[in-house]
Amino acid sequence: MTSPAPTVAELAERFTLGVRGDATALIHGVGTLAHAGEGQLAFLANPRYRSQLEGSKAAAVVMRAADAEGYAGTALVAEDPYTAFAKIAATFEVPPAREPGVHPMSDIHPDAVIDSAAHVGAFSSIGAGSRVEAGAFIGPGCIVGEDCMVGAGSELLARVTLVTRVRLGERVRIHPGAVIGADGFGLAMDAGRWIKVPQLGGVVIGDDCEIGANTCIDRGAIEDTVLEEDVRLDNLIQVGHNVRIGAHTAMAGCVAIAGSARIGRYCMIAGGAGIAGHLEICDRVVVTAMSLVSSSIREPGEYSSGTGLMDNRSWRRNAARFRQLDRMARQLRDQELKDDTQ
């Protein structure tokens, strides 16, 4: 049985928002400012979309007080419209039914412990010495290797692999195809041939983390690879062995982090950024897209590297000049020294 649609007033009371306009309007769902229809809630957070406000057919719009001035429609007033909208939108998400129990087509090692309130889906495997706690969800086709822990309320959505010695906290969500606890990339050269360095550590992931699809987090060589609580990783991210990521840090798709890097709390790493190994990034650092972090960052702030897009002809010309920068810098220095002596 579905719950009755809330009114604007009920949403305002629940999420501590102001109301301007028709507080009795019913909200059945959410939509974008441009495409929301009757009974839907939209939001305005970015000024560049202000022009869409007057033509929007949304039943109500979450916005700041300044944007609500003079608006003829119904507004839910918030200091941070995007966050308020996210909280409201979550109330319209219908979670799938997940009955506790172990599917008969799963493979459970006799030494594994599965809480009676957990769900293990078809074609999943739970290895020796592993534990799945209450309310956890192991989706179809997942592999939980030896000596792993899946904390209470955590979700492995489908085809997730926990290789070995992986510890998930509570309410961790891992999307399809992710591989946690594979060997780190540890090699040593011996008499002209590579030999593999044993990876004897594990992976520890704190409460409320989210790991995107096809992301890989390698286990440590000796100590553990660690994600503190509320770390959010997008799809296709590589986290090398012995990396430590501080609480509440978020990373967008295709970030690559080399081994033993230390990343602070409340950092934001944009898509495609690369982080070299054995360096430190302090708390509250923003790294913009496609940047290469090749040395430690010790002061909070926003950091960028690389060059912006330009037409190919200009790029070729500038690339040729780039090769001459050292010579030009030396000539400039010599000229400055010459000028100082005159």
Distance between CA atoms of 268 and 264, rounded to whole angstroms? 10
Question: Cα torsion at 239, 148, 199, 261 (round to 10°)?
Answer: 30
- CA neighbor of 42 nearest in space, from 1, 96, 25: 25
Q: Report whether 245 contacts 231 (CB < 8 A).
A: yes
Backbone dihedral angles phi then psi of residue 315, each to the nearest 5 degrees: -60, -45
Q: Which residue, 230, 224, 216, 267, is CA-closest to 243? A: 224
**Tokens in use for 189?**
């050269």
Q: Which residues are catalytic?
A: 241
| Cβ-proximal residues to 337 (8 Å cutoff; 6+ apart), any chain | none
CA dihedral 298, 301, 302, 305 (to 10 degrees): -20
Q: Give start and end residues of each alpha helix (H) in the chain.
A: 8-15, 65-68, 81-90, 312-322, 325-341
Residue 102 DSSP SS3:
strand
What share of residues in the chain are helix, strand, coil (percent, to 5)?
15, 30, 55
**Lookup result for tokens 């100590």:** 223
Angle at which helices 81-90 and 8-15 cross, to 10°: 110
